[in-house]
Structure 1
Amino acid sequence: MVKIDSVSRQRITLTKLLPFVILWLLIPLITQPNLLSSLRSSEQTKQFEVQGTAKSMPLAFVPYESFIDTPAGFSVRSLGGTLFFTQAGVDFSLPYYPEGSKHSASLANALSIRFDGANPYSTIEGIDPMVGTISDFTGNDPTQWQTDLPTFAGITYFDLYPGIDLYYDGPQGRLKSTYVVAPNADPSRIVWSYAGADEVRIDAQTGDLLVSLVLDESEERYQLREQAPVAWQDIHGRQVPVEAEYAITGQHITFSLGDYNPAYGLRIF
């Protein structure tokens, strides 16, 4: 297994956390919808699969405002990289080693997940406050340091599409996304794309979504694997499964759903 090395320019401290929560910093890089670990295949392509190494440790979502040069939102960090959750989507950064450097890595913006046609005024809020805060001392400018930042077990994009919320959480070290579709809302409005991807395709055997990219700075090849979707409705206290799979049209990805009752809410994982 190939682990993504740490970024030496970042120094992050955790305070007032539960015992052993420092292990949170050891989780591998993640992206939607589940925690990802990095494996190198025989073809020297780094394969991201839905499998985490710190399964028992919940992920922490940290809010930021005037932080770096990105829009306000939330971030999830590890020594392997960073995810930024903004109104436009999710920005996914990977570390790379400049030529001649073996120990000092830089972050490269590798991939962005864009919510196409989404509500530009959707609000992002932290859900379920966690016991603990995070302080970030990135860089040499003390005015850019942030201390005692709250942590949350999840976040919600409210009304990302009409009648549709998007919820992210990270129980047991796995990042999970859930679309919550209100009764009579249209799930076909859910559309996203991958900026920076070289290829997006569906695995014919598993139904998983495969996203391939090349990191320009290092010319390393990566592949992101997202598990096939699962959907169900809660009807009279009973979970009724709904057939769901990915569909690709040009650069856009959507969910293709089987028959369901629009009078009841729908959840897509």
Structure 2
Amino acid sequence: MIVIVYLLLGSVVSVKAQVEGISRATIAQSALPIVFEPAASQQDSSIAMIGRVASGTVEFRPSAIAIHSGRKETGGFGINFDGARSTVPRGADLEQSLTNYLLGNDPAQWRTHVSNYAKVVYSNLYPGIDAVFYGNGNHLEHDFIVKPGAD
């Protein structure tokens, strides 16, 4: 009887530790600044840049953005720049940080020293208008930069 109680209490403590660990990891991730990096997706070559935000992933494609929440049940949404030029987004303001992806046991499949950027820029998305995306804390923000004489 004592052994059964001990096993039950042990499993409750184990579950509690796992939940607390996830919570701490989520909190720690939300404190990180948003950075962007070149995408190297074998599945979808139309993704030029990618950003990791506390709530999910942002994919930057020519003339469109896809935002995924990271949870299958909530999905995501996209933004299309109607009437825009097909402009490949690029990273701007190189950060000192790097990202490493050490997935699996095959070092040939690893991606190391991936550059991080503070901004993603769509140059001349519309005639005389650039779009700039950046992080402000853990929020994704954007500006449209309108050159003199553009409308």
TM above 0.5: yes
Who is 1:153 aligned against? Answer: 118
What is the CA–CA distance in structure 2 between the aligned matches of 1:141 and 1:88, rounded to whole Å? 35
Matches within 5 A, 1:83-122: 83-96=58-71, 109-120=75-86, 122=87
Is the contact between residue 89 and residue 115 of structure 1 (CA under 8 Å) also seen in structure 2?
A: yes
User: What SS does structure 2 have at the residue aligned with 1:26?
Assistant: helix
User: What SS does structure 2 have at the residue aligned with 1:160?
Assistant: strand
What is the CA–CA distance in structure 2 between the aligned matches of 1:86 and 1:108, rounded to whole Å? 21
User: Partner amino acid for 2:66?
Assistant: D
Aligned length: 128
User: Partner amino acid for 1:26?
Assistant: Q
Matches within 5 A, 1:230-241: none
User: Partner amino acid for 2:117?
Assistant: F
Is the contact between residue 167 and residue 178 of structure 1 (CA under 8 Å) also seen in structure 2?
A: yes
Who is 1:129 aligned against? Answer: 94
> What's the TM-score, normalizing by structure 2?
0.69
- Alignment deviations for residues 83-111 of structure 1 (CA, whole Å, 9 cap, x no partner): 11111311111233xxxxxxxxx597521
Q: How has the CA–CA distance of structure 1 residues 87 and 148 changed in structure 2, closer, same or farther, with 3 Å as cutoff?
A: same
Off by >3 Å, runs of 4+ in structure 1: 22-25, 65-68, 106-109, 137-145
Is the contact between residue 169 and residue 177 of structure 1 (CA under 8 Å) also seen in structure 2?
A: yes
More strand by share: 1
What is the CA–CA distance in structure 2 between the aligned matches of 1:71 and 1:64, rounded to whole Å? 9
Choose from 57, 61, 70 the match for 2:36.
61
Query: Which structure has the bigger radius of gyration?
Result: 2
1:71 to 2:46 alignment: yes
User: What SS does structure 1 have at the residue aligned with 2:69?
Assistant: strand
Point out where structure 2 has 5 or more consecutive residues left out of the alignment.
1-18, 20-24
Percentage of pairs with the same residue: 30
More helix by share: 2
Q: CA RMSD in A?
A: 3.1
Is the contact between residue 61 and residue 74 of structure 1 (CA under 8 Å) also seen in structure 2?
A: yes
Q: How has the CA–CA distance of structure 1 residues 144 and 77 changed in structure 2, closer, same or farther, with 3 Å as cutoff?
A: farther
Is the contact between residue 95 and residue 107 of structure 1 (CA under 8 Å) also seen in structure 2?
A: no
